[in-house]
Structure 1
Amino acid sequence: MKKLALLATALAMFSGSASAADMAVKALKAPPAPAFDPWDIAFGGGIVSDYVFRGITQSNHKPSVTAYFEPRFNVNKDLQFYVGVAGESISFTNRAAAEIDVYGGIRPTFGAFAFDIGVWGYLYPGGTCFYGAATDFTGRPVGAECAANLLLNGNTMKKDVSFFEVYGKGTYTVNDNWAFGVTEFYTPSFLNSGAWGNYTSATAKYTAPSTLFGSSGVGMYVSGEFGRQWFGRTDSFYGTPAFPNGIHYADYNTWNIGVGFTYKVFTLDLRYSDSNLSKGDCSVFTGAFNAAVGTAPVTGNNPFGAGSNWCGATGIAKLSFDLTAMTNLK
């Protein structure tokens, strides 16, 4: 009897242990995965000491403020659609004081390759036409506003210089530290001048290991770009006595290199930018209101010999912040 009692007790203990083990296994089951939310919003802003676009100042070498807002739809982790609006303060010859960018596109990813394909619109509201004569060199009337506004250096600019570009970008990420890319932009009428424009560039970026500054949370990168801008012929508004039907803007190279420091959502970028445009070609292309007459060779494109420093070497410091709703606002 004692043996039977001990056996019954052992069986009861074994049964109880098994039940406890089952309960422990059930308790360790992973919670259900959160539902995939395809929507996201990126936004940010900043201040820059000189707003430079492809080697040319857009702010007369003065500080500029910028901001953007970009809703995104993620089909999956490798495919994103997006639209956005951005703004920058500028200083143009036609007295436009702001650039408003409206854009949209698609960002597919294939392993280490990431692409960005879309359309970018550049809007410059508030402009005033500057020409200083009643007709262009082909005899076409330019309008009362254009005729009434004269720049003593002979430069001209339309009231509306808004335009759009189609673009494609590709980036190959080698590892956590190195990434290389190419860009391509095309417009049928750069700055509404009538001249087509094509910009191609190569980019490189080195991101330092996250342990470089210990546990401070500060990151660092070094990046650079080399690009070339090609142009077609403008319409007659920008013609000269030698080329009344329009001029061919000078094609040019531009490059920049810089170092950036990141901390949480903030980035401080310090950069050197330059181009190989001469002061005379720079004056012709930008129509700079402060170009100085007689400081560049007289040519068919530049009959007054005006020269501008808007396209030369410059240092740029930019402090910005960037956030996404899914990452920073949860």
Structure 2
Amino acid sequence: MKKVTLLATALAMVTGSAFAADMPVKALKAPPAPAFDPWDIAFGGALMNDYIFRGVTQSNHKPSVAAYFEPRYNVNKDLQLYIGASGESISFTNRAAAEIDIYGGIRPTFGAFAFDIGVWGYLYPGGTCYYGAANAFNGGLTDSAGRPLSAECLANAVPNANTLKKDVSFVEVYGKVNYTINDSFTVGATEFYSPNFLNSGAWGNYASITGKYTAPSTIFGSSGVGMYVSGEFGRQWFGTTDSFYGTAVFPNGIHYADYNTWNVGIGFTYKVFTLDLRYSDTDLSKGNCSVFTGAFNASVGTSPITGTNPGGNSSNWCGAAGIAKLSFDLTAMTNLK
């Protein structure tokens, strides 16, 4: 009897296990996926010993500060819309208070290709007209529309007779593309076009190629410090200015000299901070640099006298420069959560 009982118990256990295996198992509910938030904001600032734009100092080779604010909307992982505003301290002949930039565009991505297409407005408020060239060389004394120059223009002149309009604000359309070769190497190209560069009446076109090498994250061990090396080679082309910048030889306007510019540098990153050390230069002569920039501190009579440079002025605003820039960059989605 005892054996029968044990056998029955064993059979019940086996049968029960078989039934249990056949019973449907209730799946555990997966945690809900985090909601996709398309909005983001990027912002940051920088301190640099020299503000260089396409090889030309905007701060008279003096320190400059900058800041930016950029709301973004991510349509999906491959398409971003953005608008932004930034500001930089400058030192122009017309004594403009600052450079204020307003911009916006789209950033589509296709595999290893990342594009950036948009419009950029450069505003220079608070300027004063300086028309030294008219006093010395151009007897027209009219603006680009043929109207007599204001008393303000005629009253202001720098000793070297260089010239700059009160308002040099302008707009560019641009396109950029970067191709990521691998985790370390990226190459790219840029194109900027303005129908009225620096409000001079001359069109401007800038194109460049870029390259960047990002070192492996382990190069400095577990310190969190990153490193990169990058460079750019570009060329700036110009049309002919309006008569405001005319000379005795070219009373209807002058043609700024086209030029090449290049820079190369090394950068170090740590969390949201970047220290960028860079060398920049152009092939503009000191005389052509003075004509283009209207530098208030250009020396007189030290460059060859030409139809566009009647005073033989020279400026170092377009020459070799070393740039040290410390910046920070944050985004709300990444850094402020």
Report the alpha carbon displacement of residue 31 of structure 1 after superposing the two structures with TM.
Answer: 1.7
User: Which whole-Å CA distance do the structure 2 matches of 1:124 and 1:59 have between them?
Assistant: 13
**1:49 CA displacement:** 0.7
The answer to whether residue 151 in structure 2 is matched with residue 149 in structure 1 is: no
Q: Contact between 1:78 and 1:109, CA under 8 Å: does it hold in 2? A: yes
Aligned to 1:210: 217
Aligned amino acid, residue 80 of structure 1: Q
Q: Is the 8 A contact 1:136 1:236 kept in 2?
A: no
Q: Tell me, which stretches of 5 or more residues in structure 1 are unaligned?
A: none
TM-score by length of 1: 0.95
Correspondence for 1:67: 67
1:179 is matched with 186
Please give the per-residue CA displacement for 1:251-275, whole angstroms capped at 9, x wherever unaligned: 0000000000001110000000000
Separation (CA, whole Å) in 1 of partners of 2:228 and 2:218? 13
Q: Deviations over 1:69-107 (max 9, x none)?
A: 000111111111100000000000000131000000011
Find the residue that maps to 2:163 and give its secondary structure. coil
How far the C-alpha of 1:30 sits from its partner, in A, is 3.6
1:164 aligned partner? 171
Amino acid at match of 1:71: P
- Give secondary structure in 1 for the equivalent of 2:153: helix
The whole-number CA distance in structure 2 between the counterparts of 1:77 and 1:16 is: 45
Aligned partner of 1:195 in structure 2 is: 202
CA contact (8 A) 1:282 1:310 kept: yes
TM-score, normalization by structure 2: 0.93
Q: Distance in 2 between matches of 1:59 and 1:17?
A: 79
8 Å Cα contact 2:204-2:239 kept in structure 1? yes
Which letter maps to 1:6?
Answer: A
Quote the RMSD (CA, aligned, Å).
1.8
Q: Matches of residues 49-60 of structure 1 in structure 2 within 5 Å?
A: 49-60=49-60
- Secondary structure of the residue aligned to 1:222 is strand
Rounded Cα–Cα distance in structure 2 between residues aligned with 1:310 and 1:218:
34
Change (3 A) 1:18 1:316: farther
Within 5 Å, give how 1:39-188 maps onto structure 2: 39-132=39-132, 137-140=139-142, 141-188=148-195
Deviation at 1:22, TM superposition (A): 4.1
Give 1:249's match in structure 2, choosing from 252, 256, 262.
256
Match of 2:130, SS state, is coil
- 1:13, distance to aligned residue in structure 2 (A): 6.0
Residue pair 1:136, 1:237 contacting (<8 A) in 2 also: no
Matched residue count: 326
**1:282, distance to aligned residue in structure 2 (A):** 0.4
Taking the aligned partners of 2:22 and 2:325, their CA distance within structure 1 comes to 65
Match of 1:262 in 2: 269
Q: Which whole-Å deviations, capped at 9, do the CAs of 1:172-202 have from their partners, x for residues lacking one?
A: 1100000110100000111000000000000
Quick one: which of 222, 231, 244 aligns to 1:224? 231
| 1:8 lines up with 2:15 in the alignment | no
What letter matches 1:34 in structure 2? P
Query: Secondary structure, in 3 states, of the residue corresponding to 1:306?
Result: coil
